[in-house]
Amino acid sequence: MSIVQNKKAFHDYFIEEQYETGMVLEGWEVKAIRDGRVQLKEAYVIISNGALYLIGSHISPLKTASTHINPDPVRTRKLLLHAEEIKRLIGKVERAGYTLVPLDMHYKAGRIKLEIGLAKGKKQHDKRESEKQKEWERDKQRLMRAK
């Protein structure tokens, strides 16, 4: 069950591979995510010291969050992935010019997971071509329904 999707990522990038990662979250963040107060639009993933980090995702704290903590809505969150997969991603990002973007946050077996994509940037003409293709598919579906 999806919590939030990053539709802008599919518009701006060609997504070649997808990985499902866990996230290191605090208690107030889990409660806020379950309430749907999360945004991935401006978020991105970096690799630092052999680990993946989610930067720029915004989780708005609930008003009923604990009073003894100071929530930081845009803090850097560590992503959990197998070491072998991290090494493979490091190689592709550093050598081949790929980037890592968050695609989807969802529940899996009661846990919150983040799907990240290995992506290559689209040029402006690629974006226009994708838009034309989507419009053609929509028109095709309308014509098929009309018959």
Query: Where in the chain are the domains?
Result: 2-122
Q: Which architecture does CATH list for 2-122?
A: Beta Barrel (2.40)
B/e letters for 39-74, b = 16+ CB within 10 Å, e = fewer, are bbeebbbeeeeeebbbeebebebeeebeeeeeeeee
* Cβ neighbours of residue 51 closer than 8 Å, sequence gap 6 or more: 78, 79, 86
Tens digits of pLDDT across the chain (147 residues): 789 888 888 878 888 889 999 999 988 888 888 888 898 888 889 998 889 999 999 998 888 766 677 788 888 999 999 999 998 888 888 877 788 899 999 999 989 999 999 888 777 777 788 888 888 999 989 888 887
pTM, whole model, 2 decimals? 0.78
Q: How far is CA 69 from CA 37, 39, 58, 62, 65, in A?
A: 18, 21, 17, 12, 8
